Chains A and B, each alone.
Chain A
Amino acid sequence: MATAPLVAQALTIRTVADALHVQARGFSFIEGPVLTRLREGRSVRIDFEMTVLSKPEGPVVKQTMQGFTLSFDLWEERYAVSRIGSPPRSISHLRPRDAETWCLENLTLPVSSLGLSRDTPFWIRLAYHVPDIGPEASEAPGERYTLRGLIDRLSRRREEADLAKSVDAGPFRLP
């Protein structure tokens, strides 16, 4: 395991074999509405996006996306995470920080695909998006134009349906 030079920023990178990993201090996502929803026994899907940029706010060099499903064991008070996609991976009995770390560990980019030399600086943008964090729609698709569907739509309180956060850091250099 090789560790990339640390930069005094929120994000740090490391490479394991050909995989570029990112670590984020203070980049917590099991909090707020996500935490509330998990503690109510409901699962939450979180989509991560890691983007390598050649300049701050500059052109995209490479981008990867990965989705995870988080759940909470009410009785053990531990978290479980499942990686969406192929091959699926799961882990359970995690503390919140461990669950967050596991998600980031499973978000990688192949170093060889970046086409960057060791001296070339690059920047990383790490973002996550929680779709449909608001209350679940009680209406079935066919009920959209029924009386029940109409009442449901008109009674819904305005809430932020989606939750998203991102952090940019750099410059980094490959080890």
Chain B
Amino acid sequence: MHSLRARLILAFIIATLMPLGATIWITTSLLERSLGYATTEELNRLSRTLEGTVRQFYQRERDGLKREALDGRVAATSYPVADMNAWPEDVRAFWESGEPERSSLSGPGGDHLDFMRKTNAGVDVYRRDLGAIRMQELSEEFRRTRELVGSLESRDLRRGFTLTLLLLVGVVWLISLAPLLFIAHRISSPIRQLTAGLTDFAAGEWDRRLEKGGDDEVGRAVDAFNDMAEQLRRSRERLVYLTQMSSWQSLARKTAHELKNSLTPIRLTIEEMLARQPLADRAFMDQAVQIVVSEIETLERRVRAFSEFAREPPANPEVFDLNVLIAERVALLKPAHPETAYSFRLDVRGPRVHAGTDLVKGILTNLLENAAEAAGPGGSVMTISHSQGGQAVVEVHDSGPGLSDEARRTLFEPTITFKKRGMGLGLSIARKNALLLGGDITLVEGALGGAGFRVALPSAPESAAASV
């Protein structure tokens, strides 16, 4: 009885049994009273009295007819043996019986009484009219009455009615239980699903989602669960990413420090070696030193990149128009990539962002640089801005070759590349900064056939946005 379905069924049973019991009690009480008016006993007594009276009447008439016949006061119809073939059936039956005399009823419904007597010549039959009293009909009616009384006496109507009532009510009740089971199942099923979903989610199944059931409270709870699960999944991913980034930053900081410590004495030593070199060997030495210094500068550039990666920039949040920032960044980038076409699909309402401007500038610069490089000369880059779900969104799409599956999988992980420009840390830094601002960068379907990135940033509150 711990499940919701069992409780619903129990509630139905409790809620219906009481009125059902009361209904049965009232009905059986009324039945009891109505059956108290039954007249079976009266009918039985009356029929027996009537039977006795009719029998007395019959016997008196029979005896009277017999006396009159024997006294010769009533005329007889004679049936001579010679005409036996023409005798009525009852006369013949009497003749064949061993009885010397017999009384029987005749006429329609038995309204005549016959007295038959055997004589030497045959059978004499004396007849008396019973005065429209049809004895055979009375006999039949008495039989029916006795049958009725017998039928009533052989039955316990009180029990029959009560059992029938209980049976029918029980059947109806059970039938009504069937749809309840169905409804209880329908109600409890999404709740059970929700509970199972929560249990699975708590056990670490971060991708667990539930099917939307309907627009009722349970359906809304399912929606809330799915939203919550999605937010938790994203938050967890961000947390994991930031934790990883923190480790990578720490490693980069230490590496940069160690490299920096080594590179400075190396450079000084090389320069000292060049200064002390005799003039005769100077040409070769100049060339060698130039190579070594160039490599040292490359290493120093990488050390600076590591330092930048390891740096925790201040956020300094402020409210600004995202469209303005986009236009500024694109204008800044155009001279470096003059053969790339830039297009815009900006929200005319100008999405307001509440974030650190420098960080957002860095993010946009990185994405636009990457897009321009991917698009190449003659390619195109499109920038989109809009507001969605309380966030200001900017998307950067390029017409480049797109990203491989491997690149998509490790896109935001910090790597060391041998690109002429950049260290492969740009996207990592951009996503870290976006996360620090309360937003995120995600990969989306490219609108120009290449890659597409979406940056979600916190929107400025209405009051703050209005004051800008």
List chain A positions with a Cβ less than 8 A from chain B: 40-42, 73-77, 91-93, 134-136, 138, 147, 150-157, 159
Do B151 and A136 have beta carbons less than 8 Å apart?
yes
Shortest C-beta distance, A70 to chain B (Å), equals: 14
Do A154 and B159 have beta carbons less than 8 Å apart?
yes
Instruction: Give Cα distance in the complex from A76 to B143, angstroms.
Output: 15
Contacts of B140 in A (CB 8 A): 41
Contacts of B143 in A (CB 8 A): 40-42
Known contacts A135-B154, A152-B155; decide if A42 and B147 are in contact (CB<8 Å). Answer: yes
Instruction: Give Cα distance in the complex from A91 to B93, angstroms.
Output: 8
Do A155 and B156 have beta carbons less than 8 Å apart?
yes
Known contacts A74-B51, A93-B99, A152-B160; decide if A157 and B155 are in contact (CB<8 Å). Answer: yes
Indicate if B135 sits at the interface (CB-CB under 8 A).
Answer: yes
Most chain A C-beta atoms within 10 Å of own C-beta, residue among B51, B93, B160: B160
Do B167 and A154 have beta carbons less than 8 Å apart?
yes
Indicate if B142 sits at the interface (CB-CB under 8 A).
Answer: yes
Interface string of B147-172 (1 = CB under 8 A from A): 10011011111111101100100000
Contacts of A159 in B (CB 8 A): 154
Given contacts A135-B155, A156-B156, could you give 8 more A-B pairs where the C-beta distance is less than 8 Å?
A41-B140, A42-B143, A74-B139, A75-B59, A76-B103, A136-B151, A154-B164, A155-B156
Shortest C-beta distance, A84 to chain B (Å), equals: 18
Closest chain B residue to A155, Cβ basis: B160
Cβ < 8 Å to A, chain B residues 47-102: 51, 54-55, 58-59, 93, 97, 99, 102
Known contacts A75-B58, A93-B99; decide if A147 and B164 are in contact (CB<8 Å). Answer: yes
Indicate if B368 sits at the interface (CB-CB under 8 A).
Answer: no
The contact of A75 among B93, B97, B105, by CB within 8 Å, is B105
Shortest C-beta distance, B141 to chain A (Å), equals: 9
Indicate if B104 sits at the interface (CB-CB under 8 A).
Answer: yes
Closest chain B residue to A137, Cβ basis: B151
Contacts of A91 in B (CB 8 A): 93, 97
Indicate if B146 sits at the interface (CB-CB under 8 A).
Answer: yes
Contacts of A153 in B (CB 8 A): 160
Instruction: Give Cα distance in the complex from A171 to B356, angstroms.
Output: 127
The contact of A76 among B51, B104, B159, B167, by CB within 8 Å, is B104
Shortest C-beta distance, B196 to chain A (Å), equals: 46
The 10 closest A-B pairs by CB, nearest first: A155-B160, A41-B143, A135-B154, A40-B146, A75-B58, A155-B155, A154-B163, A154-B160, A151-B160, A151-B164
Instruction: Give Cα distance in the complex from A155 to B146, angstroms.
Output: 19
Shortest C-beta distance, B434 to chain A (Å), equals: 77
Most chain B C-beta atoms within 10 Å of own C-beta, residue among A42, A138, A150, A155: A155
Contacts of A156 in B (CB 8 A): 154-156, 160
List chain B positions with a Cβ less than 8 A from chain A: 51, 54-55, 58-59, 93, 97, 99, 102-105, 135, 139-140, 142-143, 146-147, 150-151, 153-161, 163-164, 167
Shortest C-beta distance, A101 to chain B (Å), equals: 12
Closest chain A residue to B61, Cβ basis: A75
Instruction: Give Cα distance in the complex from A76 to B153, angstroms.
Output: 27
Do A134 and B154 have beta carbons less than 8 Å apart?
yes
Do B159 and A136 have beta carbons less than 8 Å apart?
no
Contacts of B154 in A (CB 8 A): 134-135, 156-157, 159
A-B contact pairs, 20 of them (CB 8 A): A40-B143, A40-B146, A74-B55, A75-B54, A75-B135, A76-B103, A93-B99, A93-B102, A93-B104, A135-B150, A135-B151, A136-B147, A136-B151, A154-B159, A154-B160, A154-B167, A155-B159, A155-B163, A156-B154, A156-B155
Shortest C-beta distance, A135 to chain B (Å), equals: 4
Instruction: Give Cα distance in the complex from A159 to B156, angstroms.
Output: 12
Closest chain B residue to A41, Cβ basis: B143
Instruction: Give Cα distance in the complex from A74 to B135, angstroms.
Output: 10
Do A157 and B142 have beta carbons less than 8 Å apart?
no
Shortest C-beta distance, B137 to chain A (Å), equals: 12
Known contacts A74-B51, A155-B157; decide if A92 and B164 are in contact (CB<8 Å). Answer: no
Do B146 and A41 have beta carbons less than 8 Å apart?
yes
Contacts of A155 in B (CB 8 A): 155-161, 163
Instruction: Give Cα distance in the complex from A74 to B142, angstroms.
Output: 9
Do B156 and A157 have beta carbons less than 8 Å apart?
yes
Shortest C-beta distance, A143 to chain B (Å), equals: 13
Most chain B C-beta atoms within 10 Å of own C-beta, residue among A41, A75, A156, A157: A75
Contacts of A73 in B (CB 8 A): 139
The contact of B139 among A75, A93, A134, A150, by CB within 8 Å, is A75
Closest chain A residue to B163, Cβ basis: A154
Shortest C-beta distance, A91 to chain B (Å), equals: 7
Contacts of B93 in A (CB 8 A): 91-92
Shortest C-beta distance, A125 to chain B (Å), equals: 31
Known contacts A74-B51, A75-B105, A151-B160; decide if A41 and B155 are in contact (CB<8 Å). Answer: no
Contacts of B97 in A (CB 8 A): 91, 93
Instruction: Give Cα distance in the complex from A153 to B161, angstroms.
Output: 10
Closest chain A residue to B135, Cβ basis: A75
The contact of B151 among A76, A77, A138, by CB within 8 Å, is A138
Instruction: Give Cα distance in the complex from A54 to B146, angstroms.
Output: 46
Shortest C-beta distance, A39 to chain B (Å), equals: 9
Do B146 and A150 have beta carbons less than 8 Å apart?
no
Closest chain A residue to B47, Cβ basis: A40
Shortest C-beta distance, A97 to chain B (Å), equals: 14
Contacts of B153 in A (CB 8 A): 135
Instruction: Give Cα distance in the complex from A155 to B40, angstroms.
Output: 15
Contacts of A134 in B (CB 8 A): 154
Contacts of A152 in B (CB 8 A): 155, 160
Closest chain A residue to B161, Cβ basis: A151
